[in-house]
């Protein structure tokens, strides 16, 4: 049982680091950045659920974290739609601070 727990923790940490690596290396498009952030949040949520299952039955904190993650994803998608409608694409090179 402890090997499965260690494997689950390692898998969630690997998800977090893969999301961080993709956020750093593939930053041409806004959609790639948003997807890598969501992948990191999924790894953190999985690690949080593993920790909460060891501590006790406190799942309200996990649900609160999941709610905040969904709100962050909805805000990111609404910004993506707004940027694609105003600029025509989601390249970071085409954004300018002066155009805001």
pTM: 0.79
How does pLDDT run across 31-75, given as a tens digit for each residue?
888 889 899 999 998 888 888 877 776 778 888 888 888 898 899
In the 8-state DSSP scheme, what is residue 53? H
Structurally, what CATH architecture does the domain formed by 2-99 represent?
Orthogonal Bundle (1.10)
Phi first, then psi: what are they for 27, rounded to 5°?
-115, 25
Q: Please give the Cα distance from 27 to 91 (Å, whole number).
A: 9
CA–CA gap between residue 72 and residue 66 (Å, rounded): 10
Measured in residues, the chain has a length of 100
């Amino acid at each position: 049982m402890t090997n499965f727990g260690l494997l689950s923790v390692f898998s969630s940490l690997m998800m977090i680091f893969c999301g961080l690596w993709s956020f750093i290396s593939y930053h041409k498009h806004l959609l790639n950045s948003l997807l890598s952030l969501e992948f990191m949040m999924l790894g953190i949520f999985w690690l949080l659920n593993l920790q909460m299952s060891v501590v006790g039955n406190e799942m309200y904190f996990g649900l609160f974290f999941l709610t905040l993650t969904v709100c962050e994803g909805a805000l990111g998608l609404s910004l993506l739609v707004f940027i694609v409608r105003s600029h025509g694409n989601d390249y970071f090179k085409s954004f300018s601070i002066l155009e805001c």
